[in-house]
Amino acid sequence: MIRFHKEGYKIITIALILSVAGILLAEKFIDSTWLVKTIQILILALLIIILQFFRNPKRIAPLNDNALVAPVDGKVVVIEEVEEPEYFKGKRLQVSIFMSPINVHVTRYAMSGVVKYSKYHPGKYLVAWHPKASTENERTTIVLNNAVFGDVLYRQIAGALAKRIVNYAKEGEKVIQGTDAGFIKFGSRVDLFLPLNTKLNVSLGDKVKGGTQIIAEK
């Protein structure tokens, strides 16, 4: 059975009502059979896109303190050593995962631990793969801590189409690996900032599965 994320309930309900209304109105007021069918097919196609975007498949995390799971579904587009200016103010290993509109957009906790930092930043809506998107786009920055990895930062970043980031992480809260950490509506990316000695299990261009796939280990 397909599950949907709670962030999509309102949009899905509105889309269903408008879809039914559009199909019935096209049938009633348009004489051309081919035009009616074309409009109805387009309406159904749009509804299917909305439904698949808000799907929330059940995932079972490994619950391993020595491993990090992918926080989202998507493609690894950046692996590099960078200067992280907001929290660490020092060098970290950055791993960025880009989500296309067809990916599952649930953000999941990469590891179990305690939320040490959680901050929202308003900003621009540059395309998600733009080099400055990580520091200039609308974004949230969250830092988790556990005994094995220490502090790990992840950043939800809005893109050209993503106009709302949902973040559930609250400072001081204990969280469990693989559970729901938030949602990004309509496509974007998540950056991870890891200790420099972290062993990665992914390479550039790899497609990863959020909540279950181990992408790094200690």
Dihedral of the CA atoms 27, 13, 11, 49 (nearest 10)?
-60
Mean local confidence (pLDDT), 1-11 = 89
pLDDT at 129 over 70: no
Note the pLDDT of residue 62: 94
7-39 pLDDT, tens digit per residue, is 989 999 999 999 999 999 998 889 889 999 999
The per-residue pLDDT for 177 is 97
Q: Which of 96, 112, 134, 188 is catalytic?
A: 188
pLDDT on residue 124? 73
Separation between Cα atoms, residue 171 and residue 57, nearest integer Å: 27
Q: Given this model, what pLDDT does residue 122 score?
A: 87
Q: How far apart are CA 52 and CA 38, in angstroms?
A: 21
Res 41 pLDDT > 80: yes
Determine the Cα–Cα distance for residues 110 and 142; give it in Å rounded to an integer.
11
pLDDT at 165: 86
Mean of pLDDT values over 190-203: 96
Side chain identity, residue 146: N
Residues 6+ apart with CB under 8 A from 161: 101, 186, 187, 188
Q: Is the pLDDT of residue 217 over 60?
A: yes
CA separation for the pair 202, 138 (Å, rounded): 27
Residue 53 has a pLDDT of 85
> For the structural domain made of 67-217, what CATH number should be given?
2.70.70
User: What's the residue count for the chain?
Assistant: 218
Q: What pLDDT is stored for residue 163 in this prediction?
A: 60
Told to judge if 188 belongs to the known catalytic residues of this protein, a careful annotator would answer yes
Average pLDDT for residues 78-104, to the nearest whole number?
93
Q: Tell me the mean pLDDT in the region 47-68.
A: 92
- Least confident range from 65-69, 99-103, 151-155, 208-212: namely 99-103
Question: Cα separation of 79 and 191, whole Å?
Answer: 10
Percent residues over pLDDT 90 in the chain: 72
Report the sign of the C-alpha dihedral through residues 195, 200, 205, 209, in that order. negative
As a whole number of angstroms, the distance between CA 77 and CA 108 comes to 19
Give the pLDDT of residue 131: 62
Task: Tell me the per-residue pLDDT of 156-190, one tens digit each, with 9 for 90 and over.
Answer: 988 766 567 899 999 999 999 999 999 987 668 89
